[in-house]
Structure 1
């Protein structure tokens, strides 16, 4: 703005005076933006590597290349896939099989019209001897929870306790169905509702007993349980299962059993504790009870050195229990005859139909899947076919090359120092496309020769090349090798003919090469590595570097879905930079304000001078 009295361009003069200070602010922001870009590039690489881990080495995924079942080199066809199908495992015996099915194995099943009878109650869900206590007393009003939320809550409780079953709703009948996960005549379901639970019991928090030495006293008899031997690296779900198994194994035969119970926590005023999202906060407790309500029965528990104690213990009294039982599961009744006329044997050793707990039956390395009762014998024919396994390995190589290719490109990119992060003023004169192209140039070279990513790619390369004890095969003998093309450094290439030949002739060694684990009890890291197959090594390398929150790399970079996301070296550095930038901008604004005030004062003085000058001129002219 031009000063009316002075004739000076005040804004331009202030802006020029502030240029040195604005430059410092812009440089601080550019340094911050470089850190943001670097963190983004790191996280992109982590995402790609985690994708390899999840798709190919996570054994919970059905297509994981750590599962030996995925190394079959045979193909089995069925004359009636609606009734019976089959797949060959790595050691499958090829030939023709005739399959006859009189009964299909079924799960145990219990149907409920609604949840009204168990809302507001303490219940026990028991599936084939594995049980979980669920406290539903926080549901005071029977209508304050939907069926879908109730199903989710019960399913979560069963999953945490290792109870193999699941609630669902029938789309046809609208009924609520509880089914066992497994099939067979040993599958049974019951739900017990305790109306006056006063059997002998002791209750402790799961967090208090975790890793401790426990001492139960059951009717005067002392039983010790050592939970400190459970490995520290197991997941919390696995630890819960092992903890419960150890306790029940120790107290077996004492007339006592242990179960988990999820309890909703309450505030002092009796209201339910809830988190920020409004979800009720629960606590896992382990309850040890006598199996029968016998007057005078007693159970006490000492935890470790006694500094932690059970929440509650009670001597046994009479107990009233309401039990709803479901329909038991059934066994499959199947007869399988091989190429040579050999037929499966029943429990008495007689050739013919045999009972099976599952609808998946493995004989001669062939896994038969029973889908329905057969109307006539179904013929299953097996032939050599390596294409499926070869395709899986080729798909892995493709995904691996894409991930490694991106990382290698970033590691080798040259930095162009002519490109720096844009200031807000510069961005205001550019289009979105121009800004993107510029920022892409800025990102180039930020990860050049990065130690963390170089270390990971180097370890992965060694995982393929280093010899593996127990097998004479190596990746070269399978027709897989690293590319000699400089532009594709670290990437794999495949000789498809050589691969197919090796899979057909050395199927068992191929399984070892990729999936072998170190012998049980091996603790030396070098020995574990030397005895591990390629995908076992890849799993370990990626788990330690990009999957676990304990990884130094994730602690440096942070990744969504882990505890490192908001607490990591780069993010903490960015927070400090933001604080410094905020201070610098505040200081800059103060300087501008003071300078404008000075020019305003000058305008005031000049206005007075001009007024006096005008008066004098008028006097002289008079």
Structure 2
């Protein structure tokens, strides 16, 4: 394996021929002289390569932490979200008649059975069915409002539904429109598009559609319950007669108004000492942590429906075990980087060295060269230390710790790996779910912020459950938001991450830019040195040429060149 640098001229395109007078191999001599200069450039390039590799290694750790954070601290991933009470206190809920009602339970529920003696009524929306309305010849829902003849002579119509104004036409010059006004161009908007505009307006809260079977427009509230009958008063033509023209405000006998209704469910009182009616504006409602979803009314004489709530210890155990397994993987990978062997006899290869090696040899060499770049790194050491400490320190106001529920750290050489006693953890979840939940997700009175002062950080740490502490460690290191000094997470400030502004604005890229300038300066110095050597050898060639010419002249004068 070659260890010396091979010099290649940095002055391409220049034809230089040396040694014509002296007979010296000037090109080889200068290449030998320039090797020391080439070595200076190579050392800078090797230093730059190490910084680049170190940046990649930091980003690898950042990606590991981001993946861990996304799996366990993303509230959208309900199955693995470790800051939810539903992760630690879980229940199975069964219904004896799922065709009529189903149920689920959250962490505030209690084990037990609940009886529904009758589902008297379901919650329904308010519905307005317009009078019969036929499309003009050749026109459909895809025809524009103008083509359907639904625009007044002045080209304008305005109607309101639940406080939202829909203006069909062009606003008058200087006319001030409320923030809830929707302007619609009748020459470009079809009836189908208008219905979509109305239906997607969340504040209007209605669905408008045309029934080809009944041949009329139907308006229905998205919400259910008796309160939705206010639609009757909250729907009007402001200017023009658009709603009246499509039959929704007509006074004909064909028009129907169907009042929205509340759901009415009869529960048997605990202990079976009578019944009580529960009224709800929706068919899904929550009572004491149990969420009921009504499907149908029950017929007279039907036996009571039993809702049974039982604790689901296995689900909580599996969620905690999954977290512990992934935590151990994360800690193992970071500890692996911290303790990876450094092979200092394997520096980054120079271009000349790569030319003499096969691709496989280069790959094996660079594996050694990249090894141990983060060995003993202080940032990674702090991450591991803070995560291990977060899981060991007592949580203020909680009388248990991980060890007391069957989660312990292994031997010293395992460097923080956690082990679970399945029976002990399940027993804790079964007999003391509230305390287990508090241990993991007790919330501090102080919210997380990178700008907290020292006392506030200590208070938040002491008050926070284990998962909040782990979340804080992750935020401190991979946070993409800035603190009051303009700094993001520690790892992002150090090496950045793809897709964020820190991808190019970080400490290691700044170091790379400094090295690029040093390399450019070294190359320029190398070119100057090369030119200097060529100038010196050219002067030597000229001197020898003059000497040879003088020697030949003397020989001619002395007749020494005659035979």
TM-score by length of 2: 0.65
How far is the alpha carbon of 1:368 from its aligned partner? 3.2
Equivalence for 2:440: 514
Q: Secondary structure at the match of 1:564?
A: helix
Residue of structure 2 equivalent to 1:545: 477
1:79 Cα shift? 5.6
Q: Distance in 1 between matches of 2:468 and 2:53?
A: 33
Tell me if structure 1 keeps the 8 A contact 2:338–2:376.
yes
After TM superposition, give the deviation of residue 406 of structure 1 in Å: 0.9
Residue 506 of structure 1, CA deviation: 0.7
Q: In the alignment, what sits opposite 1:490? A: 416
- For residues 180 and 406 of structure 1, do their structure 2 counterparts lie closer, same or farther at Cα, with a shift above 3 Å needed? farther
Matching of residue 12 in structure 1 with residue 28 in structure 2:
yes
How far off is 1:322 after superposition? 11
Partners of 1:477 and 1:539 lie apart in 2 by: 22
Bigger Cα Rg: 2
Distance 1:182 1:604, change over 3 A: farther
CA shift for structure 1 position 103: 3.3
Instruction: Give me the whole-angstrom Cα distance separating, in 2, the residues matched to 1:364 and 1:404.
Output: 40
What CA deviation, in whole Å up to 9, does each residue of 1:256-276 have, x standing for no partner?
A: xxxxxxxxxxxxxxxxxxxxx
SS in structure 2 at match of 1:421? coil
1:426 to 2:372 alignment: no
Aligned to 1:55, which of 71, 91, 116? 71
Confirm or deny that 1:500 pairs with 2:426: yes
- Give the SS at the match of 1:352: strand
Give the 3 Å change call, closer, same or farther, for CA 466–424 of structure 1 in structure 2: same
CA distance in 2, matches of 1:465, 1:574: 40
Normalized per residue, the structure richer in strand is 1
Pairwise CA distance, 1:468? 1.4
Are residue 69 (structure 1) and residue 7 (structure 2) matched?
no
How far is 1:524 from its partner? 3.4
Tell me if structure 1 keeps the 8 A contact 2:226–2:281: no
Match of 2:518 in 1: 580
Distance in 2 between residues matched to 1:406 and 1:390, nearest whole Å: 24
Q: 1:32: how far off?
A: 1.3
2:122 counterpart of 1:103: yes
**1:524 matched to which residue of 2?**
456
| SS at 1:351 equivalent | strand
Asked if structure 2 preserves the Cα contact closer than 8 Å seen for 1:124 and 1:134, the reply is no
1:384 aligns with 2:401: no
**1:440 maps onto 2:395 in alignment:** no
Q: Which residue of 1 aligns with 2:38?
A: 22
Deviations 1:529-560 (A, max 9, x none): 22211111112222122214433443233233
Separation (CA, whole Å) in 1 of partners of 2:426 and 2:267:
30
Q: Quote how far apart the aligned CAs of 1:24 are.
A: 0.7
Residue 459 (structure 1) aligned with residue 391 (structure 2): no
How far apart are the structure 2 equivalents of 1:384 and 1:465?
A: 28
Equivalent residues of 1:96, 1:339 under 8 A apart: no
TM-score scaled by length of structure 1: 0.59
The CA deviation string for residues 290-316 of structure 1, in whole angstroms up to 9 with x for no partner, is xxxxxxxxxxxxxxxxxxxxxxxxxxx
Question: Does the aligned pair in 2 maintain the 1:164–1:182 contact within 8 Å?
Answer: no
In structure 2, do the counterparts of structure 1 residues 421 and 520 end up closer, same or farther at CA, with 3 Å as the change threshold? Answer: closer
Cα–Cα, structure 1 residues 334 and 48, in superposed 2: closer, same or farther, change >3 Å? farther
* Partner in structure 2 of residue 400 of structure 1: 327
Give the root-mean-square deviation of aligned CA atoms: 5.3
Q: Secondary structure at the match of 1:524?
A: helix
1:333 is aligned to 2:263: yes
- Asked if 2 retains the 8 angstrom alpha-carbon contact of 1:77 and 1:86, the reply is yes
The residue aligned with 2:104 is 87
Provide the C-alpha distance between the structure 2 equivalents of 1:21 and 1:443, rounded to a whole number of angstroms: 26
Shift of 1:338: 6.3
Q: CA deviation at 1:500?
A: 1.0
- Counterparts of 2:51 and 2:272 in 1: how far apart (Å)? 70
Instruction: For residues 352-396 of structure 1, give each alpha carbon's deviation from its aligned partner in whole angstroms, at most 9, with x where no partner exists.
Output: 352144x543223223345x4467786543333211111111111
Measured in 2, the distance between the counterparts of 1:431 and 1:164 equals: 68
Report which stretch shifted further, 73-82 or 472-481.
73-82
State the match for 1:361 in structure 2.
285
- Residue 415 of structure 1 deviates from its aligned partner by 2.0
State the distance in 2 between where 1:527 and 1:133 align: 45
- The separation in 1 between residues aligned to 2:159 and 2:30, in whole angstroms, is 77
How many residues align? The count is: 456
Distance 1:592 1:416, change over 3 A: same
